Amino acid sequence: MVKRKNRHGEKGLRLGIVGFGMVGRASADVVLERKDLTLAAIVRRLDSLAQPLPDVFSKVPVVSHTAQVAHMDGALLCVPAAQVFEAAHDCLQHGVPIVESSILHGEAFQIHREAIHRLAVRFDVPAIVGAGWDPGALSLLRSLFGLLVPEGELATTHRVAASLHHTAMARQVRGVKEALCTEQVAADGARQRYVYVEVEPGVDVAQLSAAIRADPLFLHDETFVFPVESIAALEQEGRGVVLERRSGLGSQGHQRLLFEARFDDAMMTARTMVAAARALPGLSPGAHALLDLPLSALWGEQAFDAERTWL
C-alpha cells in the first residue's frame, strides 16, 4: 500500500499529545514508533514547559496551547479526567478532533459523552470518547462476550500483584521452575484458583497443568494454570484482569469464555487512543464511543493487511 504524505510532507496523520504524564508519555512513544503517524506537538501546562523531555522527543515542538500548533489531525487528551472537558473545549473550538479515555463507566460515562457531544457538534468536529483500556479495549471484549453468551454472568476479577502468593505445591511439580497463585470466588460462589507457572524448557504444559489440578490442594477448586515467561516479572507487574462469562442455567449448551491479561494500563490506553485516532478522518461531527467505531477503521492504512491477518 502506498504511504500518503500530508500537506506538511510528513507521514500520515499529525497527532498532538496534551499532557505528558503516564498515558501522555506512552502515547508519544507509540506515535513515534508508528510509520503512518507524525507527532505534531506535545502540549503541556506552562509550569511544565521548562522540564526537559527524553532525547527521543528532541525534534518534537513543545507548546503550552493547542492553538500554537500549525495543524493537527487529532489531539490525544492525556490530562486528568477532571481537566478533560476543558482540554476538549480548547481543541474542538480550534477545529482539532480529539480522542480521550477518562476512567468513567455506566451513567457517568454517558453524561460525559453527552457533554463532549454537545461541544463537538457546536464546533462541527468529531471526538472519540472512552478510548483507553477500561473503558476502551476491555469494554469491546466485555461487549463481545455479552453478544456471544447473551444469558450469562460476567465475572471480572482485578488482580493486583499484591494478591499473588508463592505456592510450594505447584513448585514441586516436575517442570515448574517457579509459581504464584491467587484465589477468587466466582459469580456462582465457587472458589477458583489461578496458578501462574514459569516452566522448564521443553516441558509439556498440558501435562504439567493436569498434575497441578490433580493435587489434593487444588482438586476441589476450579483451577486455571497459566504459563508465564517470568514469575519475577509477574510480581513486578502492576495489574491483571480475568473476565469470565458462562452461559446461565437453562440457556442452550454450555458456553464459557475466559480472558486473562496482565498489562501496563498506561501503555494499553495509549495504544487504544492512538488506534482510535486513525478513525478520526472518517467520522462525522459529534462524540463517538470506541464501541461505535468499526475495528477496520482503527487500522488506518493497514486495514487491508489487518483483514488478511486477523479475519
Ligand X SMILES: NC(=O)c1ccc[n+]([C@@H]2O[C@H](COP(=O)([O-])OP(=O)(O)OC[C@H]3O[C@@H](n4cnc5c(N)ncnc54)[C@H](OP(=O)(O)O)[C@@H]3O)[C@@H](O)[C@H]2O)c1
Q: Is there binding between residue 80 and ligand X (CB under 6 A)?
A: yes
Q: Which residue is nearest to ligand X (CB)?
A: 21
Nearer to ligand X, 75 or 199 (CB): 75
Site string for ligand X, 118-137 (x = CB under 6 A): --------------xxxxx-
Q: CB–CB of 168/180 below 8 Å?
A: no
> Binding to ligand X by residue 66, rule CB under 6 A?
no
Binding flag, residue 156, ligand X (CB under 6 A): no
Q: Which is nearer to ligand X, 247 or 272 (CB)?
A: 272
Of 100-108, 218-226, 242-250, 286-294, which part binds ligand X (CB under 6 A)?
100-108
Instruction: Mark the segment that binds ligand X (CB under 6 A) among 101-109, 113-121, 163-171, 211-219.
Output: 101-109
Minimal distance, residue 238 CB to ligand X, in Å: 11
11, 32, 36, 48: residue in contact with ligand X (rule CB under 6 A)? 48
Contact pattern for ligand X over residues 259 through 298, marking x by CB under 6 A: ------xx--x-----------------------------
Rounded CA separation 16/77 (Å): 9
Q: Is 21 a binder of ligand X (CB under 6 A)?
A: yes
Could you say whether residue 238 binds ligand X (CB under 6 A)? no
Instruction: Check residue 78 for interaction with ligand X (CB under 6 A).
Output: yes
Q: How far is CA 244 from CA 157, 260, 302, in A?
A: 9, 9, 31
Give min distance, CB of 86 to ligand X, in A.
9
Could you list the residues that contact ligand X (CB under 6 A)?
19-24, 44-45, 48, 78-81, 83-84, 101-103, 132-136, 265-266, 269
